[in-house]
């Protein structure tokens, strides 16, 4: 999707992906990543997951294209971030939460710092098929080899609905990541399920690189 697509989604308030509470799989499986301190959250929106992770002793580094969404996160949490502009990105930080406002594909290892684990909810499934391999390759440049991702995907008959969110089948997850352990699944809730499609959410521990 072009940046304008996401900018208009946010400016028009069409953010059906925003859960408003910590994600079901994250709350169930947070223990699996508890010992990994610095969490990278690509395409983070203003997810409550950021605050949940920080409350569970993680240092959180989100990346979000739409700066208004980044501002909204801090405003809604009563925090006043410091803002550092560096090249194409603006780095917002308050306490244990940093959100890098900018295009993921322009973010560098120097911007994110040391990363111990990735949390991906509605990130890879927000990307069209032709961008997904590039997304995983770019993550690879940001994190050490064999970094774990707590990865949440959605599967549904793609020919019955135009994404985003896109269906990312298990076979594709296994192609994109060097390993993937399916740890949980459930019938999906949210916009795709509301459209009457049989959809399933899957949660993996996947390895990048």
Ligand X SMILES: C[S@@+](CC[C@H](N)C(=O)[O-])C[C@H]1O[C@@H](n2cnc3c(N)ncnc32)[C@H](O)[C@@H]1O
Residues that bind ligand X (CB under 6 A): 6, 17-18, 43-45, 47, 63-66, 69, 103-105, 121-123, 126
CA distance 53 to 160: 35
Neighbours of 4 (CB within 10 A): 8
28 or 146: whose CB is closer to ligand X? 28
Q: Which is nearer to ligand X, 128 or 146 (CB)?
A: 128
Query: What letter would DSSP give residue 161?
Result: S
Nearer to ligand X, 127 or 180 (CB): 127
- Output 21 or 179, the one with its CB closest to ligand X: 21
At 7 the three-state DSSP class reads helix
Smallest distance, Å, CB 50 to ligand X? 9
CA-wise closest residue to 72 among 106, 40, 48, 54: 48
* Contact call for residues 166 and 128 (beta carbons, < 8 A): yes
Closest CB 131 distance from ligand X, rounded Å: 8
Instruction: Tell me how far, at minimum, the Cβ of 67 lies from ligand X, in Å.
Output: 10
Residue 102 DSSP code: S
- Residue with smallest beta-carbon separation from ligand X: 45
**Cα–Cα distances in Å, from 20 out to 28, 51, 196?**
17, 11, 22
CB of 189 to ligand X, least distance (A): 13
Residue 120 C-beta: closest distance to ligand X, Å: 8
Question: Which is nearer to ligand X, 55 or 146 (by Cβ)?
Answer: 55
């Amino acid at each position: 999707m072009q940046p304008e697509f996401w900018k208009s989604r946010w400016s028009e308030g069409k953010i059906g992906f925003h859960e408003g509470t910590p994600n079901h799989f994250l709350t169930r499986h947070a223990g699996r990543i508890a010992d990994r301190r610095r969490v990278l959250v690509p395409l983070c929106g203003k997810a409550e997951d950021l605050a949940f992770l920080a409350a569970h002793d993680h240092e959180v580094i989100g990346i979000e294209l739409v700066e208004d969404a980044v501002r909204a996160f801090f405003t809604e949490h009563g925090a006043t971030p410091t803002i550092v502009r560096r090249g194409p990105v603006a780095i917002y930080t308050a306490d244990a939460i940093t959100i890098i406002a900018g295009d993921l594909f322009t973010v560098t290892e120097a911007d994110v710092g040391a990363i111990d684990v990735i949390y991906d909810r509605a990130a890879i499934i927000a990307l069209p098929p032709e961008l997904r391999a590039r997304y995983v390759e770019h993550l690879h440049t940001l994190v050490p080899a064999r970094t774990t991702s707590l990865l949440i995907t959605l599967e549904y008959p793609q020919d019955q609905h135009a994404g985003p969110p896109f269906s990312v089948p298990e076979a594709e997850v296994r192609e994109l990541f060097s390993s993937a352990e399916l740890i949980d699944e459930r019938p999906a809730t949210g916009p795709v399920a509301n459209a009457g499609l049989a959809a399933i959410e899957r949660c993996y521990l996947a390895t990048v690189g």
